[in-house]
Amino acid sequence: MSAQVEEIRLTLGHIELAAHLFGPADGLPVIALHGWLDNANSFARLAPQLKGLRIVALDLAGHGYSEHRPVGASYALADYAHDVLRVAEQLGWERFGLLGHSLGAIISVQLAGALPERVSHLALIDGVIPPTLSEQDAAERLGLALQAQLRLESKRKSVYPTLEEGVEARMKGMVAVSREAAELLAQRGLMPVPGGYSWRSDSRLTLPSPTRLNQDQAMAFVKRIACPAYLVVAADGMLARHTELLEQLPFEQVTLPGGHHLHLNDAEGAALVADCFNRFFGIP
């Protein structure tokens, strides 16, 4: 597969999304979805190594070069799934594969479970279902989310005097990444502002979700998936310790060395993930 990448924009009616386009025009159609607060460059190391795929790697709404949702709107998982479906409709893809990391993997599972007839392959990196909540905690969860929404109005984004300081902040984020990974994400994520640089991502992305599924509801999406599915678990990532969940999944699985961003942190991790997915997609 050629390492060439094309920058495209997709006007969906309700929002405009930016994306990277990889691979041959006649390749198997795949939509790639990055993780929370990342962007399309999450797949900059991995996508060029995947053979025979036509990959559209999105900047999800509120991330990278994509538009933010309108005032008063939020970033619910169902809305992300709707965006992905609209992308497929615009591209004329009746059936398509999904390649998802973290949040992107969660969106992929929900869409593949909701509309199993539309998804041909499911390739997941260190993510499956969203955090769940017991029914009795639902009211308290909504209260906390509403309070956080009110507080957000008085908050201001961090401004970093230099690009380097912005990159270092991403390296030390809630999920740490390598310098090389942070630099790639910064290419689409940092923007100049008065006094330095700030991350483009919508501040509303940091708000807690007002509702969560319970465990049975979350697993109902997994159970409806009808396509082949392959899960890469990062040995030092977020899923490895959830052995009970992993044992319930009807997916082919492999555990690879590395952290949550193993496909982006270094060339070795990207190559290991690419080898697994090339065998999974089975395109010579």
Cα–Cα–Cα angle for 132, 135, 139, rounded to 5 degrees? 100
How, if at all, do strands 96-101 and 28-33 pair?
parallel
**Distances in whole angstroms, Cα of residue 202 to Cα of each of 39, 186, 233, 239:** 12, 15, 28, 26
Question: Residues 6 or more apart from 147 whose CB is under 8 A from it?
Answer: none
Q: Which residues are catalytic?
A: 102
Give the pair of three-digit tokens for residue 266: 């270094």
169 φ, ψ (degrees, to nearest 5): -65, -40
**Rounded to an integer, what distance in angstroms lies between the CA atom of residue 100 and that of residue 155?**
31
DSSP state, residue 160: B
